[in-house]
Amino acid sequence: MSSPSLRALSAELTALRPRMEAVSLAIHARPELKFAEFHAHRVLTRWLAEAGFTVTAPAGGLDTAFVAVHEGSGPGPYVAVLAEYDALPEVGHGCGHNLIAAGGAAAAIAVVRALPAHPGTVAVIGTPGEEMGGAGKVRLAGAGVFEGVDAAVMFHPGDRWLTGRPGLAAAHLRVAFTGLSAHASVSPWLGRSALAAAQLFLNALDSMRQFVPPTARLHGIVSDGGQAPNVVPARAAVDLYVRDRTAVSAEALVERVRAAAEGAALATGTRAEVSETGPLYAERRDNGVLAERFAEAVRALGVDIAPGHPESPAGSSDIGNLSQLLPVIHPYVRIAKAGTPAHSEAMREAAATPLAHDSTRLAATGLAKVVAELLTEPALLAAARAEFEGVPV
């Protein structure tokens, strides 16, 4: 069985564009935080069920996760398109997850429309809680949701077209300090300020920055700094991300952060407790074989796309953990002018524009072409698997 032509898939995505845009805007208009994406979950699963997919929801023990599958006419690969749909606190969809979700669903629907008797399985896996260390993909993998999946594809909005870019490993920590409350004016000497410990800890991190690798990132917020100015705070907490190029180097930095917390506690007469607010995000491994197939498809549609520089600044995502388990791609799609920062109000506004939906249609066509070729060209999956396993191709 041959893969449908790019023209045929593009025509399907053009026909799906109105529904895709409506789904995207519906999710954008009602931003929901990690693991509370009930509206997005309903909108997406309804569309996929109408398109002939069999939907299992909830999935993997997560209320807002789902697995929507379209079984083919016979044995073959299991290829998944990933959907993210959570938003950021205050900013809303400043990461454009509304486009990831709507475009991913549209790509999968286009494949089964263009290739209804396809071999194997086409799936859309709804992976909630990517932001804020939620680690939805990590949790779903642990629950067995990705068992049997041969490859997974998705795209991410940004300010340029890239076949892929680095993704840092990230530890998600809470450093909680416990002190002793007292009246802040009458008898402060009877208290031990947890907030003072948090301040000293943050100063220690600032002092550490010169002596960590240039690739490392240490950043956080004071998530609890006390409740009343006239009470010495007995509790304070810092929520912190520790990032570096690999999980090994990030975990080594975590040990230095623990030592800084203990030192701040010792200096202020308080106690420190360091805990994880979510699983470690691993570094990302984009599959070059599949990324180039995506690039070929979107270039044929008029897109100027190139690889990201391996030394460029990077964020982190739970797609990194999945990329350690199976071949994945995570290209970037231009929805805003160059220089528009991610996780910003400007990116949020860009994620609802005609340009964003034009780019999403192109990206969805590229994903659909990769999925269709994985289903119909055994050599492509073999090459992707060989790269993943480190076997010379």
Task: Indicate which CATH number applies to the domain containing 150.
Answer: 3.40.630.10
Per-residue pLDDT, 392: 56
Question: What SS3 state is found at 334?
Answer: strand
299 shares its domain with 157 = yes
Tokens of 345: 């109000």
Does 133 lie in the same domain as 261?
no
Q: Does residue 350 share a domain with residue 220?
A: no
Domain range for 194: 169-281
Q: Do 157 and 93 form a contact (C-beta atoms < 8 A)?
A: no
Residues 152-206 have pLDDT tens digits of 999 999 999 999 999 999 999 999 999 999 999 999 999 999 999 999 999 999 9
Query: β-strands 328-329, 235-244: how paired?
Result: unpaired
Q: What is the mean pLDDT of residues 251-274?
A: 98
Task: Examine residue 321 and state whether it is found in any structural domain, yes or no.
Answer: yes
User: Does 344 map to a domain?
Assistant: yes
136 sits in which H/E element: helix 136-142
Give the DSSP letter string of 15-31.
HHHHHHHHHHHHHHHS-
> Using CA atoms, how far apart are residues 258 and 94, in angstroms rounded to an integer?
32
Cβ-based neighbour number of residue 238 at 10 Å: 25
Do 297 and 149 lie in one domain? The reply is yes
Same structural domain for residues 328 and 347? yes
Would you put residue 350 in left (φ > 0), alpha (ψ -120 to 50) or beta?
alpha
Q: How many whole angstroms separate alpha carbon 55 and alpha carbon 259? A: 47
344, burial (CB in 10 Å: exposed 0-12, middle 13-18, buried 19+):
middle
Whichever domain contains 242, its CATH number is 3.30.70.360
Q: How many whole angstroms separate alpha carbon 17 and alpha carbon 90?
A: 29
**Which parts of 30-128 fold into alpha helices (H)?**
38-50, 97-114
Say how far apart CA 15 and CA 60 lie, in whole Å.
Answer: 33
User: Same domain for 69 and 176?
Assistant: no
Q: 328-378 pLDDT, tens per residue?
A: 999 999 999 999 999 999 999 999 999 999 999 999 999 999 999 999 999
Instruction: Report how far residue 233's alpha carbon sits from residue 196's, in angstroms, rounded to the nearest whole number.
Output: 9
Paired residues of 69 in beta bridges: 54, 123
Domain end position, chosen among 266, 281, 296? 281
Lookup result for tokens 């475009």: 103
pLDDT of residue 393 exceeding 60, the answer is no
The model carries a pTM of 0.93
Rounded average pLDDT over 21-44: 98
Task: Say how far apart CA 148 and CA 142 lie, in whole Å.
Answer: 13
Environment class of residue 333 by beta-carbon count within 10 Å: exposed (0-12), middle (13-18) or buried (19+)? buried
Max Cα separation, the chain?
83
Domain end point (choices 237, 255, 281) = 281
Q: pLDDT class for 313, splitting at 50, 70, 90?
A: confident
Q: How far apart are CA 167 and CA 245, in angstroms?
A: 7
Question: Is residue 14 pLDDT above 90, yes or no?
Answer: yes
User: What share of the chain in percent tops pLDDT 70?
Assistant: 99
Is 363 within the bounds of a domain? yes
Q: Of 281, 296, 314, which marks where a domain is finished?
A: 281
Residue 54 token pair = 């069999």
Say yes or no to pLDDT of 132 above 60: yes
What is the tally of structural domains in the chain? 2
Q: Are 6 and 114 in contact (CB under 8 A)?
A: no
On whether residue 1 sits in a domain, the answer given is no
Residue 393 within any structural domain of the chain:
no
In a domain, 69, yes or no: yes
pLDDT-derived band at 292, boundaries 50, 70, 90: very high
Show Cβ contacts of residue 360 under 8 Å, excluding neighbours closer than 6 positions: 20, 24, 99, 102, 103, 106, 157, 333, 335
Say whether both 297 and 370 belong to one domain. yes
Residue 65 covered by a domain: yes
| Summary mean pLDDT of the chain | 96
**Residue 297 and residue 219 share a domain:** no
Domain shared by 205 and 226, yes or no = yes
Element (H, E) at 207: helix 194-208
**Judgement on whether residues 157 and 33 belong to the same structural domain of the protein:** yes
* 3-class state of residue 110 by DSSP: helix
- Residues contacting 20, CB < 8 A, separation 6+: 13, 102, 103, 105, 106, 357, 360, 361, 364
Average pLDDT, integer, range 241-248: 96
> What SS3 state is found at 366?
helix
- Provide, rounded to the nearest whole percent, the portion of the chain with pLDDT above 90: 96
Written as six digits, the tokens of 1 are: 């069985």
Asked if residue 50 is part of any domain, the answer here is yes
On whether both 290 and 362 belong to a single domain, the answer is: yes
pLDDT of residue 310: 84
* In a shared domain, residues 326 and 212: no
CA distances from 167 to 271, 295, 314, 331 (A): 34, 19, 6, 12
Q: How are beta strands 78-83 and 121-126 bridged, if at all? A: parallel
